[in-house]
Amino acid sequence: MQRRSFIKKSSVAGLALTAVPQIVFSQEEEYSILELMGKTDIELFGKDINLREAAHDAFVEMKKAALGDGIVIKVVSSYRNFARQEGIWERKFIKYTDDQHMKPIDAIDKIIEYSTIPGTSRHHWGTDIDLVDGSKNVSGDVLVPAKFEAGGPYENFKRWMDEHSKKFDFHLVYTNDAKRKGFKYEPWHYSYAPISVPMLTQFRRKNILQLLEKEDFLGAEHFTNGFLKNYIQDNILDINEELL
């Protein structure tokens, strides 16, 4: 399968993520582009938790509080480095193009319903986490929106998180707001705002198009400037307003 020959335009060099809003969180710490893209090791805390220290500590307190109410919060996924995200992306690209014979651009549109382009995932930051109720015996894929709805195995978990998660600074990222674009609703994906908000602020100041030009993963040769501009606006920035 052909690897990439990324489309280059003169306008790319001048295009960055702009219009950064006023942020109420502290930005004392600077995050390198390698951190933001999951390309360097960061210090992670907690067995099977793998979050930055402050996020880990808040999560442990939230987990304790939930357990007191009969909810067993279980981590399905947290930190993912660039290589792991690349593996997820390429497996899906091969599945859709080779196994299901989809056109590459259709495969990419299918992938970005739930999965991010490598280097742009919030899971690279050590602040974001996918959660379910570990006390429930659920078969098949657990990260399915219907399983969090009324009558689903995670109904009580979702109700508890809706009521309590913000007390611990964890916010749902991809809400079910009908006006929101980009990634589909993910009732399992939470972000620790005191760190992820400053990280997103710094990330959106980078020239993401230029950064992605340097990468080499399956499907990237089909990216255009227009596609990437829309991806940045819809998938990276059209999220829960509490995280902007």
Segments in 175-224 forming alpha helices (H): 193-203, 208-213
Cβ 54 vs Cβ 192: under 8 Å: yes
* Sign of the CA dihedral with 199 first, then 205, 206, and 208 last: positive
Q: Mean pLDDT for the chain?
A: 90
Within a domain: 201: yes
* Block residue for tokens 């707001």: 177
Cβ 93 vs Cβ 111: under 8 Å: yes
Give the pLDDT of residue 236. 96
* Residue 183: its H or E element: none
Within a domain: 114: yes
Beta bridge partners of 85: none
Within a domain: 188: yes
Taking the mean position of all CA atoms in its chain, how far away is CA 189? 8
Within a domain: 41: yes
Task: Write out the chain's pLDDT in tens, 244 residues.
Answer: 444 333 333 333 334 444 444 444 544 689 999 999 999 999 999 999 999 999 999 999 999 999 999 999 999 999 999 999 999 999 999 999 999 999 999 999 999 999 999 999 999 999 999 999 999 999 999 999 999 999 999 999 999 999 999 999 999 999 999 999 999 999 999 999 999 999 999 999 998 888 887 889 999 999 999 999 999 999 999 999 999 9
CATH code where residue 115 lies: 3.30.1380.10
